[in-house]
Copies of this chain bind each other. A is one copy, B any other.
């Protein structure tokens, strides 16, 4: 119930994608053409890895409950840092509470996780899912969202060893609990996970009608297609974006990720594979 963007490639200021594009994530927070909700004003987050090894061991996360569109600190921070890999997310909450601990991306050690969608009927089987979380991970659940529980299930099932298998197992666990509670289509959404090097982006819903997901085309190819679009020169050859909806209206720049697919973005390429096919 949100919008998100993941970037990987040459280091840049997050502002160039968060603030400075036609349908930037901040613009989407106010008006999201393809979103299930038009307004995503219930907080946001920015998680980024530093180019400067001395600066931080893991990713930093800035989260706020203010709408992204007028958050002065987001403007400052997203211009002041440079990063080769970042996640950003704007939130439309189903209900209160609106609090930083409910803002994506969520973090565990070197990993980040974010979600656009919902676990339908979550309140009625939340307790069952939480009981499945590894007791050593349990105390780090700090908010009230379905996504944070899903992340902790995936960590329990081995996210840090095999992210595709672990996210698949977590979703299957959610579907089992949800369907036992009478929910026909428990899982909905797109998910992004990273260890700071690779980004895994999942598009999946129990019903097979998932929220939208796109990835950017190859930058050198785009430069040939659009020699007059100066903005393409702002990006390096390895710049890749995965995003809830296209950041601009140029045909061919953003390609849809198919249903039941995991898109894998690595420093030197992009590939996708089937994920939990029907």
Residues of A at under 8 Å CB distance from B?
13, 30-31, 38-39, 41-42, 48, 50-52, 54-56, 60-67, 69-70, 72-73, 76-77, 79-82, 93, 95-101, 123-124, 126-127, 131, 135, 138-139, 142, 144
How many copies of the polypeptide does the oligomer hold? Answer: 4
From B64, B127, B139, A138 is in contact (CB under 8 Å) with B127
Are B61 and A76 closer than 8 Å at their CB atoms? Answer: yes
- Which residues from B are CB-within-8-Å of A101? 97, 99, 144
A75 to chain B, nearest CB (A): 8
Residues of B within 8 A of A30 (CB): 39, 41
Partner of A142, one of B69, B93, B135, B144: B144
Nearest-neighbor residue (CB-CB) of A107 within chain B = B76
With contact pairs A82-B52, A82-B55, A126-B138 given, residues A96 and B70 touching in the complex (Cβ less than 8 Å): yes
Name 18 A/B residue pairs within 8 A (Cβ), A-sorted: A30-B39, A30-B41, A41-B67, A41-B69, A42-B67, A42-B70, A48-B80, A55-B79, A56-B80, A60-B76, A61-B76, A65-B66, A67-B67, A70-B98, A81-B81, A123-B139, A127-B135, A127-B138
